[in-house]
């Protein structure tokens, strides 16, 4: 399935694609016969969703699969005709995931294993601090303060749902060998 930047993907198909990639806290539970959606289309579909929880699931997806955060950054950079609202949403969720990853790194690692760090992108243009400043908390606070809504609470909910979701899907291909982590585990 391939969509254009102005087409929408039905909520149930987006949720099924998220479940397929290990993020399974959104309902409904897929039936298993949904058509497969490419990573590009999933990222674009989530960013274009009219449902806030679905859009915020992008941050959860990027935390679970940091390589998809990189894909989102490349979509932003290589798609000049991307609607501004979708571009803004992709950047916001990328930056939020980058900060959340630093803030919740230990618990995320314990739940899902080592993951690559989401690189610092977009923050200079947005006037935001380094991802490592106060373990991401300062930057996330500033990002959230720019919204008229309670984004902080929404991101807390993303973390809570992600860390307590009923499924734990660890794809060995997604794991990044972190030698410091492995050394500590072997010596502990």
Q: How far apart are CA 30 and CA 92, in angstroms?
A: 27
Q: Is 46:5 a contact under the CB 8 Å cutoff?
A: no
- Cα(84)–Cα(41) distance, rounded to whole angstroms? 17
Q: How far apart are the C-alpha atoms of 110 and 160, rounded to whole Å?
A: 14
Residue 183 confidence (pLDDT) = 55
- Please state, in angstroms and rounded to a whole number, the distance separating the CA atoms of residues 174 and 184: 21
Rounded-to-integer distance, Cα 82 and Cα 86, Å: 7
Quick check: bond before 6 cis, omega within 30?
Answer: no
> What are 135's two structure tokens?
């373990």
* Residues whose CB falls within 8 Å of the CB of residue 137, separated by 6 or more in sequence, listed in order: 99, 103
What pTM does this model have? Answer: 0.86
Two tokens, residue 8: 């929408």
Residues in contact with 179: Cβ distance below 8 Å, sequence separation at least 6, in sequence order: none
Per-residue pLDDT of the chain in tens (188 residues, 90 and over written 9): 444 555 679 999 999 999 999 999 998 888 888 899 999 999 999 999 999 999 999 999 999 999 999 999 999 999 999 999 999 999 999 999 999 999 999 999 999 999 999 999 999 999 999 999 999 999 999 999 999 999 999 999 999 999 999 776 555 555 554 544 455 556 65
Contact yes or no for 57/45 (Cβ under 8 A): no
> Residue 181: in which H helix or E strand, if any?
helix 179-187
Which pLDDT belongs to residue 1?
41
Q: How far apart are CA 50 and CA 48, in angstroms?
A: 6
């Amino acid at each position: 399935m391939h969509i254009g930047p102005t087409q929408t993907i039905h909520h149930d198909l987006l949720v099924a694609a998220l479940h397929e990639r290990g993020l399974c806290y959104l309902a409904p539970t897929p039936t298993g016969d949904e058509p497969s959606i490419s990573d590009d289309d999933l990222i674009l579909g989530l960013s274009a969703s009219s449902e806030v929880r679905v859009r915020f699931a992008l941050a959860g997806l990027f935390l679970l699969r940091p390589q998809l955060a990189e894909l989102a950054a490349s979509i932003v950079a290589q798609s000049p005709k991307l609607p501004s609202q979708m571009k803004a949403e992709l950047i916001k969720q990328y930056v939020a995931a980058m900060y959340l990853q630093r803030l919740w790194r230990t618990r995320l690692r314990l739940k899902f294993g080592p993951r690559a760090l989401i690189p610092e992108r977009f923050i200079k243009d947005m006037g935001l601090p380094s991802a490592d400043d106060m373990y991401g908390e300062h930057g996330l606070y500033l990002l959230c303060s720019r919204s008229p809504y309670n984004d902080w609470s929404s991101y807390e909910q993303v973390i809570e749902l992600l860390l307590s979701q009923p499924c734990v899907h660890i794809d060995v291909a997604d794991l990044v060998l972190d030698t410091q982590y492995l050394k500590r585990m072997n010596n502990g």
